[in-house]
């Protein structure tokens, strides 16, 4: 089908400000690719896009079961958005399990597109349906389009010489074509993508393109859809944009940092979900002088990175929580040796193996305190997928300028999520290079020039770095305490105390920007009474929730911490201007405790650890309750107790435990309910 | 130039026009803190003499260690160096070596450091063939923590953590290294300066990972007696008529020569033609093996390594295996060079990619 015909229609499309679409199917159905391509298409026509991939930890959970459902949610809008949306307006379900896991979250009146090919007796049974939901009236609240996606896809690719199973696998592209038509999106970019991706397999390449086009044409020809929709471009600031995933943004930020420091980038890493993708991205960039090394374990990964730093590279290691735990001893060594190093922790659900593919913010205290001895390290948090670039550059800047390891916290939501990213001009990036020592920096008692590796810059307290190969500056460093200035081994008590305080002072004095408050109603003290402060990936949901609350006529202020160590100097004075400070976190209050320790200000926590980001509506409701609490009662709904429904759930569990005979059945029901909810998000 | 210890010196090193480095150039002013009588003193002294002889400038030498008595050695050598954390020295050294092929990188470790807590890093450095010279100072005991049994202690070793004798079988470091695919494996003893120097010189010349086990005693904790320090051919007054008698001293392996020992070379290592296994026979036996460390198949070297466990009082010393394979460092640098034939790639085109779009102002 010629392209011109494909791009003909868009007159008469109903305009939407925003829409939330979720593609769901079996782990092997290619839903992540489908969602990713839809997001790229939306981004290419100028929509603002935020995405939420969600998939099981197993590579292939049992096919057709709820446990094996993989989904990809996208929020596309004609205005600035920060979250992937709470409730889907459109659900594409490739099998009964995908329907079952997701339908409860669909907006009433929303659209369901499902693949009838999989709604067989066996398919329904695997999904746990006793009765076919297509016939029992349970979907009456929705607009259901039951289409044999697999059958149409197979027919569309019949000429391409594929095995039946491979032909059926193109159903995701058929679905993508159909939904692209429905939302007035062009598919040319995806065709180009498929041609590149399957360049080595011409049959597969041609079949996927055919299926994609067939889906588009089906939408146009079948007249099954009463409406075609359109989301106009969002008014973004001028510039070149790119659809950017969080892990890729961090990788690019590191490459740019090394470029702007005029040093090679050296990555030591060990595969771990959800951080491996950064290793993959960097491993492919040898042409940009990126050196990557897959080590035998997490400890060797950071060991090699430290070795690289010592040898004059910008040393980096990337990991997730369990790997971070293994690196703790080496982090202490990097602290005492005072070498530049960036450690990226893409947080996931913990403790232990926890929820490897789900998001959480529960490694904050590990980042702050997870080493023995007094071992202070700067901690920086990424706030969104596109922000990964700037945050990584900032981490590298501090690491180099202050000769210190820096922890950069990301999380699984940021890592896999994507949004438009304005590509910076190389000229606008800061230069972050440092001068390596090349000459002696002191004289001994006899007037001979000597090198003191622990003499310090009076402003930054950074020590000079002399890399191997520099004549005349040979010296040894290590884990034993160093004498001030000379770096020789020293067991002197006063020296140890001095060195501990000096290392602490160096981190405390790092130059970080002041905390800024977003409050249209006025500056701190004369605007809102409630400040919502967050760190990391809660930036998006908190921002959207604040907008929603303001739209309802209430006042609320938002602040976000990029630098957690050291904290902005004005933090305490800003917080003290508000009646109530609300801290939503995907943990049990780690930042809240840190803020109390550092500022002596009590905050209100809102905490959940469900492996999924906050929903806007949920946070807006919490903020509203906190604001209204202040209006009704000066003491308010404050205090440090979490506002969530955890108490109710704990009570339910203990009730079930008390009623012994019914306990098992009751608990099982509760946990099944949870599993379904999780799988659906 | 001077060092951090205030020892004034003339400029030395590899830059053109400078004088050749000397022992003094590799000596720091840091006080050496090992027990009197410890073999580490001899190893340090050998290294100070060896490094100038290799012609590598102090600033192009990096010595990385872990934790333990042996791992203090970098502080006493005036080169670049890292005294790192327990067991992890090969990982730091790998990060240095693969990025800086211009440097001579040495690892100093011990039997606890390399074979217990750091076992994983050792075997992976060896299998990758990273261009590291690894000196494994094997005193068969944890000295710094006061005498516990180590992974090379004999079964039955009495120590504070094994008051009734240790139960676990020791590692044979040579066999372990061979199993990991090491391309250079040698064993020497601290008390034979000439053999030590020759072995370390051979290791330094090797391109790739070189593991040298340096057997030693611990004057404070180890029950293992010091090695007899006789030159080959020199006999003790009353040599027993038994090939496994300790009075023979260790067998000395020399490339191209038959493996014979005893005052009159009356004993030899023989290969059973039917099974290929190595054993002890008479020196005049036609089946006596001619030593060839260049044998690609490591079965022979492995057999030699295991020989001592059954038939000899002490294991043979010398180079067990020395074969040529591309080093990881070389392959790594070649890969980098291939990836950027025209220098560093353009950052702008990387960031912009092929899927970007422009929003007009």
A22: domain CATH number is 3.40.920.10
* A188 shares a domain with A156: yes
pLDDT band at B308 (very low <50, low <70, confident <90, very high): confident
Residues 416-435 of A with CB under 8 A from B: 423-426
Structural domain ending residue among the three candidates A486, A511, A536: A511
Interface residue B15 vs chain A (CB under 8 A)? yes
Chain A residue with Cα closest to B8? A448
What pLDDT was estimated at residue B360? Answer: 85
Please state, in angstroms and rounded to a whole number, the distance separating the CA atoms of residues B82 and B72: 10
**Looking at residue B2, what is its pLDDT?**
36
Residue A639 is predicted with a pLDDT of 42
Q: Which pLDDT score is estimated for B245? A: 85
CA–CA separation, A271 vs A277, rounded Å? 9
Residues A133 and A64 in one domain: yes
In a domain, A517, yes or no: no
Q: For B324-348, how does the pLDDT look when each residue is reduced to its tens digit (9 = 90+)?
A: 999 999 999 999 999 887 777 899 9
Domain identity same for A273 and A361: yes
**Same structural domain for residues A411 and A299?**
yes
CA distance B38 to chain A (A): 21
Contact B30 A488 (CB under 8 A): yes
Task: Please determine, for residue A634, whether its predicted confidence score (pLDDT) is greater than 60.
Answer: no
CB A85 within 8 A of CB A73: yes
The nearest alpha carbon in chain A to B65 belongs to A478
- Residue-wise pLDDT for A249-297, tens only, equals 999 999 999 999 999 999 999 999 999 999 999 999 999 999 999 999 9
Chain A residues touching residue B83 (CB < 8 angstroms):
476-480
For CA atoms A362, A363, A364, A365, give the dihedral sign: positive
Task: Report yes or no: A26 and A67 within 8 Å, Cβ to Cβ.
Answer: no
Strand partners, B307: none
CB contact under 8 A, A289 and B345: yes
Q: Total domain count for chain A?
A: 5
* Among candidate residues A511, A534, A555, the one where a domain is terminated: A511
A475 is in which domain, residue-wise?
435-511
The pLDDT-based confidence of A575 (bands split at 50, 70, 90) is very high
Angstrom CA distances, B49 to A103, B20, B22, B26, stand at: 77, 13, 8, 8
Planar angle of CA B4, A504, A337, nearest 5 degrees = 35
Looking at the domain assignment, is residue A207 inside a domain? yes
At A256 the pLDDT is 98
The pLDDT of A191-218, averaged and rounded, is: 95
Where do runs of H (alpha helix) occur along A509-556? 539-551
Q: Which of A468, A483, A490 should we substitute to test contact with B (largest number of B Cβ atoms within 10 Å)?
A: A468
Mean pLDDT of chain B: 89
Instruction: Identify which of B224, B240, B243, B227 has the alpha carbon closest to the alpha carbon of residue B311.
Output: B243
**Model ipTM value:** 0.92
The pLDDT score that the predictor gives to residue B241 is 78
What is the pLDDT at residue A665? 40
Judge whether residue A631 has pLDDT over 90: no
Residue A639 lies in a domain: no
Q: Is the pLDDT confidence value at B257 over 90?
A: yes
Least confident of A62-76, A349-363, A514-528, B14-28: B14-28
Q: What is the per-residue pLDDT across B206-224, written as a single tens digit (0 to 9) for each?
A: 999 999 999 999 999 875 4
Planar angle of CA A416, A421, A423, nearest 5 degrees? 130
Does the beta carbon of A199 lie under 8 angstroms from any beta carbon of chain B?
Answer: no
Taken in order B293, B299, B305, B310, the sign of the CA dihedral is: negative
pLDDT at A605 over 50: yes
* Nearest residue of A to residue B79, measured between CA atoms: A474
Does the beta-carbon distance from A450 to B3 stay under 8 Å? yes
pLDDT of B323 strictly over 60: yes
What confidence score (pLDDT) does residue A637 get?
40
Q: Are residues A547 and A620 in the same domain?
A: yes
Residue A104 phi, psi (nearest 5): -65, -25
Q: Give A395's pLDDT tier (boundaries 50, 70, 90).
A: very high
In chain B the domains, ranked by start, together with CATH numbers, are 23-227+326-334 (3.40.50.970)
Asked if A293's CB is within 8 angstroms of B94's CB, the reply is yes
User: How confident is the model over A120-132, as pLDDT tens digits?
Assistant: 999 999 999 999 9
The reported pLDDT for the residue numbered A622 is: 96
Contacts of A231 (CB under 8 A, 6+ apart): A15, A16, A17, A18, A19, A42, A47, A76, A77, A78, A183
* Residues A272 and A366 occupy one common structural domain: yes
Contacts of B352 in chain A (CB under 8 A): 240, 242, 423
pLDDT at B246 (0 to 100): 82
- Cβ–Cβ below 8 Å for A450 and B2: yes
Q: What is the pLDDT of residue A167?
A: 93
Subunit contact A311:B351, Cβ cutoff 8 A: no
Mean of pLDDT values over A661-670? 39
Q: What is the pLDDT of residues A18-39, one digit of tens each?
A: 999 999 999 989 999 999 999 9
Nearest CA to CA, how far is A647 from chain B (Å)? 45
Task: Give which of B12, B359, B361 to mutate to test A binding, by max A Cβ within 10 Å.
Answer: B359
A165-179, A360-374, A653-667, B183-197: range with lowest mean pLDDT:
A653-667
Contacts with A288 from chain B: Cβ below 8 Å:
340, 344-345, 347, 350
The CA distance from A464 to A340, in Å, is 11
Q: A648 pLDDT exceeds 60?
A: yes
Which of A233, A268, A472 lies nearest to residue B11, judging by beta carbons? A472
pLDDT for A657: 57
Q: Which of A400, A428, A456 is the last residue of a domain?
A: A428
Interface test with B, best of A307, A421, A475 (most B CBs within 10 A): A307
Among A233, A255, A313, the residue with its CB nearest the CB of B99 is: A313
Q: Which of B83, B97, B357 sits opposite A44 (nearest CB)?
A: B357
Q: Which range has the worst mean pLDDT, A546-555, A655-664, B143-152?
A: A655-664
B16 or A514, higher pLDDT: A514
Residues A422 and A449 placed together within one structural domain of the fold:
no
Of B57, B61, B75, Cβ closest to residue A489: B75
Distance from CA of A372 to the nearest CA of B (A): 13
Residues A459 and A528 in one domain: no
**Residue A516 falls within a domain, yes or no?**
no
Q: What is the pLDDT of residues B70-90, one digit of tens each?
A: 999 999 999 999 999 999 999
Between these two residues, A76 and B245, which has the higher pLDDT value?
A76
Residue B354's pLDDT band (cuts 50, 70, 90): confident
Whether residue A274 is preceded by a cis peptide bond, meaning omega within 30 degrees of 0, is yes
Q: What pLDDT shows up at residue A654? A: 67
- Residue B289 sits at the chain A interface (C-beta within 8 Å): no
What is the DSSP annotation of A101-127? HHGGGSPTT-EEEEEGGG-SHHHHHHH
Query: What percent of chain B is modeled with pLDDT above 90?
Result: 77
Asked if A470 reaches chain B (Cβ–Cβ under 8 Å), the answer is yes
User: Quick one: A97 and A222 in the same domain?
Assistant: yes
* Tokens, residue B208: 């790739």
Q: Does residue A641 belong to any structural domain of this protein? A: no
Q: Among B7, B24, B100, B92, which Cα is nearest to B58's?
A: B24
What is the DSSP secondary structure assignment for residue A614, as one 8-state letter?
P
CA A639 to CA A67: how far, in whole Å?
A: 39
- Interchain contact B337–A (C-beta under 8 A): no
Q: Which of A260, A303, A331 to mutate to test the interface with B (most CBs of B within 10 A)?
A: A303
- Residues A45-71 as b or e (16 or more Cβ within 10 Å = b): bbbbbbbbbbbbeeeebeebbbebbbb
| Same domain as A557, residue A618 | yes
Residue B160 has a CB neighbour count (10 Å cut-off) of 12
In a domain, A310, yes or no: yes
Average pLDDT over residues A563-568: 98
CB–CB contact B100 A469 (8 Å):
yes
pLDDT reported for residue A509: 97
Contact A468 B335 (CB under 8 A): no
B:26-55 residues touching chain A, CB 8 A cutoff: 28, 30
Same domain, A485 and A390: no
Residue A643 covered by a domain = no
Of the two residues A458 and A634, the one the predictor is more confident about is A458
CB pair distance less than 8 Å for A468 and B358: no
Confidence band, pLDDT 50/70/90 cuts, at residue B1: very low
Domain with A294 in it: what CATH number?
A: 3.40.50.970
**DSSP strands (E only) in A13-117:** 14-16, 18-26, 48-54, 69-77, 90-93, 111-115
* Residue A150 within any structural domain of the chain: yes
Q: Which among B61, B92, B102 has CB closest to A303? A: B92
Does pLDDT of B13 surpass 60?
no
Residues A537 and A594 in one domain: yes
A245 token code pair: 């995933």
């Amino acid at each position: 089908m010629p392209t011109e015909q494909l791009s003909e229609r868009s007159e008469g499309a109903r305009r939407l400000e925003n829409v939330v679409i979720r593609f769901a199917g079996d782990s092997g159905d290619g839903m992540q690719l489908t969602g990713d391509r839809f997001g790229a298409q939306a981004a290419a026509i100028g929509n603002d896009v935020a995405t939420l991939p969600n998939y099981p930890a197993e590579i292939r959970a049992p096919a057709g079961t709820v446990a094996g459902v993989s989904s990809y949610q996208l929020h596309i809008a004609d205005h600035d958005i920060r979250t992937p949306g709470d409730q889907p307006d459109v659900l594409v379900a490739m099998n009964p399990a995908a329907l079952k896991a997701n339908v409860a979250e669909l907006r009433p009146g929303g659209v369901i597109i499902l693949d009838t090919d999989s709604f067989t007796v066996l398919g329904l049974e695997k999904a746990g349906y006793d009765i076919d939901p297509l016939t029992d009236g349970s979907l009456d609240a929705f607009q259901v389009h039951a289409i044999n996606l697999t059958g149409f896809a197979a027919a569309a690719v019949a000429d391409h010489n594929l095995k039946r199973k491979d032909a059926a696998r193109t159903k995701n592209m058929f679905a993508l074509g159909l939904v692209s038509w429905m939302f007035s999106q062009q598919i040319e970019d995806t065709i180009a993508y498929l041609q590149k991706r399957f360049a080595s397999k011409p049959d597969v390449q041609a079949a996927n393109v055919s299926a994609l086009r067939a889906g588009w044409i089906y939408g146009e020809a079948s007249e099954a859809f009463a409406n075609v929709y359109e989301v106009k471009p969002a008014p973004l600031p001028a510039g070149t944009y790119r659809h950017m995933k969080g892990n890729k943004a961090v990788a690019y930020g590191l490459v740019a940092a090394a470029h702007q420091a005029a040093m090679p980038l050296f990555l030591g890493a060990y595969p771990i979900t959800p951080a491996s993708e950064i290793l993959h991205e960097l491993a492919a960039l040898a042409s940009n002088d990126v050196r990557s090394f897959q080590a035998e374990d997490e400890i060797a990964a950071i060991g090699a990175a430290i070795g690289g730093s010592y040898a004059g590279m910008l040393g980096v290691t990337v990991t997730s929580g369990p790997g971070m735990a293994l690196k703790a001893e080496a982090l202490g060594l990097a602290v005492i040796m005072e070498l530049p190093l960036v450690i990226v922790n893409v947080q996931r659900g913990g403790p232990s193996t926890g929820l490897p593919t789900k998001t959480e913010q529960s490694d904050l205290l590990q980042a702050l305190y997870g080493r023995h001895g007094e071992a202070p390290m700067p901690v920086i948090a990424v706030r969104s997928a596109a922000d990964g670039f700037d945050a990584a550059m900032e981490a590298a800047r501090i690491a180099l300028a202050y000769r210190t390891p820096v922890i950069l916290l990301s999380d699984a939501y940021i890592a896999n999520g994507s949004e438009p990213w304005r590509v910076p001009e190389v000229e606008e990036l800061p230069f972050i290079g440092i001068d390596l020592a090349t000459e002696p920096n002191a004289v001994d008692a006899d007037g001979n020039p000597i090198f003191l590796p622990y003499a310090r810059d009076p402003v930054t307290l950074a020590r000079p770095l002399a890399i191997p190969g520099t004549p005349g500056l040979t010296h040894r460093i290590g884990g034993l305490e160093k004498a001030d200035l000379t770096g020789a081994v020293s067991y002197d008590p006063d020296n140890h105390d001095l060195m501990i305080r000096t290392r602490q002072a160096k981190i405390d004095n790092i130059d970080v920007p002041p905390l800024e408050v977003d409050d249209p109603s006025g500056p701190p003290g004369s605007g809102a009474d409630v400040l919502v402060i967050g760190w990391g990936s809660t930036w998006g949901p908190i921002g959207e929730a604040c907008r929603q609350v303001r739209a309802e006529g209430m006042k609320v202020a938002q602040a976000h911490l990029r630098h957690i160590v050291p904290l902005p100097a004005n933090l305490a004075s800003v917080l003290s201007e508000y009646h109530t400070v609300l801290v939503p976190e995907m943990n049990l209050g780690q930042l809240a405790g840190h803020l109390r320790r550092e500022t002596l200000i009590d905050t209100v926590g809102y905490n959940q650890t469900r492996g999924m980001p906050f929903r806007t509506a949920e946070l807006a409701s919490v903020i509203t309750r906190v604001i209204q609490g202040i209006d009704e009662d000066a003491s308010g709904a404050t205090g440090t107790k979490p506002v969530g429904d955890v108490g109710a759930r704990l009570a339910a569990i203990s009730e079930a435990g008390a009623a012994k005979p019914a306990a098992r059945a009751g608990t099982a029901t509760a946990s099944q309910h949870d599993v379904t909810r999780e799988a659906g998000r | 130039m001077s060092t951090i210890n205030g020892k004034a010196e003339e400029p030395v090193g590899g830059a053109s026009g400078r004088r050749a480095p000397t022992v003094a150039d590799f000596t720091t002013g840091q006080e050496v803190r090992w027990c009197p009588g410890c073999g580490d003193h001899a190893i340090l002294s050998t290294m100070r003499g060896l490094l100038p002889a290799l012609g590598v400038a102090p600033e192009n030498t990096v010595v990385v260690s872990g934790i333990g008595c042996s791992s203090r050695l970098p502080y006493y050598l005036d080169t670049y160096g890292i005294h790192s954390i327990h067991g992890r020295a090969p990982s730091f050294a790998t990060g240095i070596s693969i990025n800086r092929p211009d440097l001579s990188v040495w690892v100093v470790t011990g039997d606890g450091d390399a074979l217990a807590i750091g076992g994983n890093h050792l075997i992976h450095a060896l299998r990758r063939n990273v261009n590291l010279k690894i000196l494994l100072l094997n005193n068969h005991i944890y000295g710094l923590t006061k005498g516990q049994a180590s992974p090379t202690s004999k079964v039955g070793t009495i120590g504070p953590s094994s008051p009734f004798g240790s139960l676990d079988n020791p590692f044979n470091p040579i066999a372990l290294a061979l199993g990991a695919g090491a391309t250079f494996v040698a064993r020497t003893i601290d008390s034979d300066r000439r053999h030590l120097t020759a072995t370390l010189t051979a290791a330094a010349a090797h391109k790739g990972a070189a593991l040298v086990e340096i057997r030693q005693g611990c004057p404070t904790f180890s029950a293992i007696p010091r090695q007899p320090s006789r030159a080959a051919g020199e006999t003790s007054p009353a040599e027993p008529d038994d090939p496994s008698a300790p009075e023979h001293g260790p067998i000395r392996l020399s490339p191209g020569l038959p493996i014979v020992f005893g005052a009159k070379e009356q004993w030899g290592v023989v290969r059973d033609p039917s099974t290929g296994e190595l054993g002890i026979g008479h020196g005049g036996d036609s089946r006596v093996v001619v030593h060839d460390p260049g044998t690609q198949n490591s079965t022979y070297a492995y057999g030699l390594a295991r020989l001592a466990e059954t038939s000899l009082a002490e294991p043979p010393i010398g180079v067990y295996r020395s074969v040529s394979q591309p080093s990881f460092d070389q392959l790594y640098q070649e890969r980098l060079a291939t990836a950027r034939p025209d220098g560093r790639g353009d950052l702008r085109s990387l960031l912009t990619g092929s899927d970007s779009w422009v929003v007009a102002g």
